[in-house]
Chains A and B, each alone.
Chain A
Amino acid sequence: MWTWFHKLASPPHFYALADKLIPWLSVPGYLLIAYGVYAGLFIAPEDYQQGDAFRIIYVHVPSAYLSMLAYMIMAIAGGIGLIWRMKLAHAVAASCAPLGASFTFLALATGSIWGRPMWGTWWEWGDPRLTSELILLFLYFGYMALRGAIDDTAKADKASAVLALVGAVNVPIIHFSVEWWSSLHQGPTLIKEGGPAIDPGMLYPLLAMIFGFSLVFGGMLLRRVRTEVLRRESRTRWVKDMMLQSQEG
């Protein structure tokens, strides 16, 4: 029953599988983003209060969503690595961090650009949503710094996995911040009682962007994990064999 799990954990098997999977994630991902950008900019109606300025939502929301999803993947992968001593899981966690940090930065930057004309401020320290998202960025930085500071890969894996797991407490704080505390940031639009509070013409491009971003992120992640696996396994037989083969071919 667990053979698929053990097979997945085997680096050569994963390396080949990821190679096949990457185009199946990236191509539909970019297609969805292409549709989302076009429909979001040209087809979706303008907002009754914000006019055309609301369209930054099509970058802001997918980025913010992925900043949290990437962290959860990183923490869960770190946990799996700790519990089952699965090296591949640690490789996944390590590969997740720079991507998650990039999406977090994108969410903060687009949010700031959006906030200046609409709310009247670039940044508001008193707002729990903004502050907890900034803490997420620092968690990613801390994770990467901790990894970089420890030379021994096995030790770095363990230490950073613990950090990722402890920091995971921040993710629900980000999500529920707008409900728990009074904030400048508005409450959830998509996941709420009575369904999404957004015009369908605006919603479909947004969903396309969220799924598109997720698929492209999946493709990027697999590509990074492949490189990470090669780096970690560079002294093993299968990597040497594969390199020799590719030189001959």
Chain B
Amino acid sequence: MLAVGLAVLGVAAAAGLTLQAFKDNMMFFVSVTEVVAGEYPKDRNFRVGGLVVDGSIERADGSLDVNFMVTDLRCEIPVMYTGVLPDLFREGQGVVAHGRMDAAGTFVADEVLAKHDENYMAPEVAESLAMQHSDGIAMAASGEQLECDVE
């Protein structure tokens, strides 16, 4: 019975710690608007999440350096990264970058992760969908819909 008691205690403790850890992690990333408003950890690395702005990707010839803008449909920040990007990295795609802000207001990333949504489609279907209604994300990603008014 002692073993059972210990097992139950162990599992309960593990579950508790896990839930606690997830709670701290609930904001898996900071939004772009929060970064612009200065609400981010200044002294350590953090994650920022958003969409890659259309037409903002600049690659330097002969190196793995890449610069792009990330938006949350309100504000935008520039991101600098050196390395191999995931397959899903593209314009309009949701990405999560890990790194810190430099003095010039550029987010220097040491890791860029791409999120994908729960939709699986054939390419032709996706194309015809995009033709029917150029969706809100693409329009908003060009940065014209909402004002980035940060107090």
Question: What residues make up the interface of A, taking CB atoms closer than 8 Å to B?
Answer: 45-51, 53-54, 57, 117-121, 124, 126-128, 131-132, 135, 139, 142, 146, 149-150, 158-159, 162-163, 166-167, 169-170, 173, 177, 180-184, 186-189, 192, 197-199, 201-202
Contacts of B12 in A (CB 8 A): 166
What mask results when residues 74 to 113 of chain B are scored 1 for a CB within 8 Å of chain A, else 0?
Answer: 0000000000111111000000100000000000000111
**Is B3 an interface position by the 8 A CB rule?**
yes
Listed A/B pairs (5) with beta-carbon separation below 8 Å: A117-B87, A120-B113, A162-B8, A166-B7, A184-B28
Q: How far is the CA of A71 from the CA of B19 in the complex (A)?
A: 20
Question: Is B120 touching A189 in the complex (CB atoms < 8 A)?
Answer: yes
Q: How far is the CA of A169 from the CA of B122 in the complex (A)?
A: 37
Question: Is B119 touching A189 in the complex (CB atoms < 8 A)?
Answer: yes
**Is B26 an interface position by the 8 A CB rule?**
yes
**Is B150 an interface position by the 8 A CB rule?**
no
Q: How far is the CA of A166 from the CA of B14 in the complex (A)?
A: 11
Question: Is B122 touching A199 in the complex (CB atoms < 8 A)?
Answer: yes
A146 in complex: contacting residue of B7, B19, B121, B122, CB < 8 Å: B7
Q: How far is the CA of A158 from the CA of B112 in the complex (A)?
A: 48
**Is B145 an interface position by the 8 A CB rule?**
no
Please classify the interface of chain B as helix (H, G, I), strand (E, B), loop, or mixed, using the class held by over half of its residues.
Answer: mixed
Question: Is A186 touching B115 in the complex (CB atoms < 8 A)?
Answer: yes
CB distance from B49 to the nearest CB of A (A): 8
Question: Is B116 touching A121 in the complex (CB atoms < 8 A)?
Answer: no
- Size bracket, chain B contacts: 35 or more
B3 in complex: contacting residue of A139, A146, A177, A181, CB < 8 Å: A146
B4 in complex: contacting residue of A51, A128, A139, A163, CB < 8 Å: A163
Question: What residues make up the interface of B, taking CB atoms closer than 8 Å to A?
Answer: 3-4, 7-8, 10-12, 14-15, 18-19, 21-22, 25-29, 47, 49, 84-89, 96, 111-127
B114 in complex: contacting residue of A54, A119, A182, CB < 8 Å: A119
A182 in complex: contacting residue of B29, B116, B122, CB < 8 Å: B29
Question: Is B116 touching A50 in the complex (CB atoms < 8 A)?
Answer: yes
Contacts of B124 in A (CB 8 A): 45
Question: Is B11 touching A139 in the complex (CB atoms < 8 A)?
Answer: yes
Q: How far is the CA of A166 from the CA of B6 in the complex (A)?
A: 12
14 additional A-B pairs beyond A47-B123, A54-B120, A189-B119, beta carbons within 8 Å, are A48-B121, A118-B114, A126-B28, A142-B10, A170-B15, A177-B22, A180-B22, A181-B22, A181-B25, A182-B26, A182-B27, A184-B28, A184-B115, A188-B118
Question: Is A183 touching B118 in the complex (CB atoms < 8 A)?
Answer: no
Contacts of B125 in A (CB 8 A): 48, 199
Q: Which 10 A-B pairs have the closest CB atoms?
A: A120-B86, A48-B126, A45-B122, A198-B120, A182-B28, A189-B118, A48-B123, A159-B4, A197-B119, A186-B118
Q: How far is the CA of A119 from the CA of B118 in the complex (A)?
A: 14
Question: Is B86 touching A118 in the complex (CB atoms < 8 A)?
Answer: yes
